[in-house]
Structure formats: C-alpha cells, structure tokens
C-alpha cells in the first residue's frame, strides 16, 4: 500500500499569513490545502497563489461546496486546484457536476466528500457509484472543542468506508501522536492543520507527521 499523503490545511485568516506559514514546510508535504477559512477570507485568489507557489504539488480547495457545483468547480479547477471538496449533504447532482467540470480540466482532477454530521452508507454508495471515490472523515473543530475524542464509532465508520473502496482521508485536530489510532486502516491521506501551523517549529511538526506515517504504514 502507498503511504498516506500528508496534507496541511491552511486555515489562516489572511493570505499573507498562509504564505508565510506554508513556506516553512511546503517542501515536506504532499498536498497544500486552501482551508475553508482561508477561502472565505481571501477567495479564489488563495487557490491561484498556492498553485503558483507549488506548481508540482497537489493543491486542494476545501470549499465544502453545497450547491451550484458547476460554477464552484469552474472557479476551483480554473484557479488550479487538483481537488475540491463537497459537503456530504450536497445533492448527488452537485457532486457529479463538480466531477464533470474537473474531468474537463484533467483526468486526475477530483472531488472529495467532507463527512460531517448525518450521512448514510446508502448515500456513500451513491457517491461511489458516480465516481466520487474520495471522502474526508472529520472530527469537527467545534466537536473537538466540546471534548469529542476519536472512538469506536469513528473507527467503525472509517473501516467500513475503506472496505467500500473509498480513499479515506482523516482530519480534525490531529497530532502526529494520534496517527497510531488508525494503523489498521489503509488510510489515503492525513490532514494536519493547527498542530503544524501553530507549532513552535512548523517544519519539524510536518516532518514528525511524515516520520510517523512512515513508521506506521511503511
């Protein structure tokens, strides 16, 4: 199995901050994420800038699109994103529209479904059957603040999604020291946000994720 990819979420509130941050560890990571917060703060220019700064990396726009899939996808892929996200409650036609626009920009362009709140395996099967094969399993930031930890329900869902054939990315306040919790799963991607950006030494924190990924899944 390929090693899980390391994605860093740039949830900065200014583009200047995001650039200063990513320059510290951009060379270490696999996927540069224009975080939802950065996108809200700075718009599609943030995606264009990350594409320019990292022409050879995967750039992901975490727009969490809910509707108007074609228009959002034209903005995201048009700005150079390789992957954009859709919220799990979006209509399947929104996701299909995003995917269709992506395929006009290149065969590797993709759509990831962000799993929050209520969703069903029946819906997940529908995504998969329509070529939407990537999901992000989330512990929400606000749930984390309210004390939610990773537990058996999360692991059961992650395992089932892997078994269904999804490429599963995990996220939500992850630290390198949490990754062993997921060792039994063929995880596709790991997202670090605050634990890397806000570390005293962000490059060292990104490298710690990389080292731990290699130790667990290598």
Residue 134 interaction partner, one of Mg ion, ligand 5RP, none, beta carbon < 5-8 Å per kind: none
Tokens, residue 193: 């946000």
Decide if residue 187 touches ligand 5RP (CB under 6 A).
no
Least distance CB 213 / Mg ion (angstroms): 18
Q: Which is nearer to ligand 5RP, 129 or 176 (CB)?
A: 176
Q: Where are the strands (E) in the chain, listed by range?
A: 5-10, 31-34, 58-65, 83-87, 110-115, 134-138, 167-171, 189-192
Q: Which is nearer to ligand 5RP, 9 or 83 (CB)?
A: 9
What whole-number distance in Å separates Cα of residue 174 and Cα of residue 126?
A: 29
Touching ligand 5RP, residues 1-60 (CB under 6 A): 9, 11, 35-36
Cβ–Cβ under 8 Å, residues 158 and 185: yes
Give 92-110 as a DSSP string: HHHHHHHHHHHHHH-TT-E
Q: With contacts defined by CB under 6 A, name the span among 90-98, 100-108, 157-165, 193-201 that binds ligand 5RP.
A: 193-201
Decide if residue 178 touches Mg ion (CB under 5 A).
no
Decide if residue 172 touches Mg ion (CB under 5 A).
no
> What sign does the CA torsion over 212, 144, 139, 36 have?
negative
Residue 31 CB: number of other CB atoms within 10 A?
20
Catalytic positions, written as ranges: 36-37, 64, 67-68, 72, 114, 138, 141
Q: Footprint of ligand 5RP on this chain (CB under 6 A)?
A: 9, 11, 35-36, 62, 141, 171-174, 191-195
């Amino acid at each position: 199995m390929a090693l899980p990819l390391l994605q860093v979420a740039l949830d900065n509130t200014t583009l200047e901050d995001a650039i200063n941050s990513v320059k510290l560890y951009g060379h270490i990571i696999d996927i540069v994420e224009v975080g939802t917060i950065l996108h809200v703060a700075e718009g599609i220019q943030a995606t264009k800038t990350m594409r320019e700064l990292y022409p050879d990396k995967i750039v992901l726009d975490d727009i969490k699109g809910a509707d108007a899939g074609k228009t959002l996808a034209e903005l995201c892929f048009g700005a150079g994103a390789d992957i954009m996200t859709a919220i799990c409650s979006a209509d399947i036609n929104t996701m299909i529209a995003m995917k269709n626009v992506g395929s006009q920009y290149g065969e590797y362009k993709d759509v990831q479904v962000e799993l929050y709140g209520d969703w069903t395996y029946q819906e997940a099967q529908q995504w998969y059957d329509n070529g939407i094969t990537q999901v992000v399993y989330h512990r929400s930031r606000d749930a984390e603040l309210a004390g939610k930890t990773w537990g058996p329900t999360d692991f059961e869902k992650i395992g089932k999604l892997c078994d269904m054939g999804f490429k599963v990315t995990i996220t939500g306040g992850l630290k390198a020291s949490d990754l062993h919790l997921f060792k039994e799963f063929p995880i596709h991607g790991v997202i670090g946000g605050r634990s890397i950006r806000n570390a005293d030494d962000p490059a060292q924190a990104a490298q710690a994720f990389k080292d731990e990924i290699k130790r667990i899944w290598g």
